[in-house]
Structure 1
Amino acid sequence: MGRLGWVDPESFMQRNHELMDAYSAGKLAMEEFMAFSLEPMAGRTPEEVDHLVGPWVEDVIEPIIYSDACKCIAQHRAKGDRILVISASGVHLVKPIAERLGIDEVLGIELDVQHGVYSGATVGVLTYREGKITRLMEWLDAEGENLEGASFYSDSRNDLPLLLKVDHPNVVNPDPVLLEHAQQAGWPVHTWV
Structure 2
Amino acid sequence: MAGTRRVTVSTDAHGHTTGWADATAVGPTPTDPRAAAFFDVDNTMMRGASIYWFARGLAARRYFTTGDLARFAWQQTRYRVLATEHAGDMSQARQAALAFVEGWRVGDVERLAEEIFDELMAPRIWAGTRRLAQRHLDAGQRVWLVSAAPVEIGRVIAARLGLTGAIGTVAEVVDGTYTGRLVGELMHGPAKAEAVSQLATVEGLDLPRCTAYSDSSNDLPMLTAVGRAVAVNPDGALLRVARERGWEVRDFRTGRRAARIAVPSTAALGLLAGAVSAGRALHRRRRPA
Q: Secondary structure at the match of 2:62?
A: coil
Shift of the alpha carbon at 1:91?
Answer: 0.8
How far apart, in 1, do the equivalents of 2:215 and 2:119 lie? 23
Q: 1:69 corresponds to which letter in structure 2?
A: T
- Matched-pair contact (CA < 8 Å) for 1:6–1:40: no
Greater relative contact order (CA < 8 Å, ≥ 6 in sequence) = 2
How far apart, in 2, do the equivalents of 1:156 and 1:149 lie? 22
Once superposed, what is the RMSD of the aligned Cα atoms? 2.4
Q: Percent identity?
A: 27
Alignment gaps of 5+ in structure 2: 1-57, 254-289
The answer for the alignment partner of 1:189 in structure 2 is 249
Is 1:50 the equivalent of 2:78? Answer: no
- Matched-pair contact (CA < 8 Å) for 2:196–2:222: no
The answer for the alignment partner of 2:161 in structure 1 is 101
Q: 1:9 corresponds to which letter in structure 2?
A: L
Shift of the alpha carbon at 1:23?
Answer: 6.8
How far apart, in 2, do the equivalents of 1:191 and 1:146 lie? 27
Q: 1:192 corresponds to which letter in structure 2?
A: F
Q: Note closer, same or farther for the CA distance 1:129–1:40 as it changes in structure 2 (3 Å cut).
A: closer
Q: CA-to-partner distance for each residue in 1:114-165, whole Å, 9 max, x for gaps?
A: 2331122221233211111111111111112220211111001110111122
Shift of the alpha carbon at 1:82?
Answer: 2.2
Aligned length: 193
How far apart, in 2, do the equivalents of 1:84 and 1:58 lie? 20
Is 1:4 the equivalent of 2:57? Answer: no
The answer for the alignment partner of 2:92 in structure 1 is 32
Is 1:140 the equivalent of 2:200? Answer: yes
Q: Note closer, same or farther for the CA distance 1:18–1:51 as it changes in structure 2 (3 Å cut).
A: farther
Of residues 39-48 and 98-107 in structure 1, the stretch that sits farther from structure 2 once superposed is: 39-48
Q: CA-to-partner distance for each residue in 1:61-93, whole Å, 9 max, x for gaps?
A: 100111112221221122222222222221122
Shift of the alpha carbon at 1:29?
Answer: 3.5
- Describe how 1:35-184 pairs up with structure 2 within 5 A: 35-184=95-244
- Matched-pair contact (CA < 8 Å) for 1:35–1:121: no
How far apart, in 2, do the equivalents of 1:21 and 1:116 lie? 39
- Matched-pair contact (CA < 8 Å) for 1:35–1:120: no
Q: 1:120 corresponds to which letter in structure 2?
A: G
Q: 1:143 corresponds to which letter in structure 2?
A: E
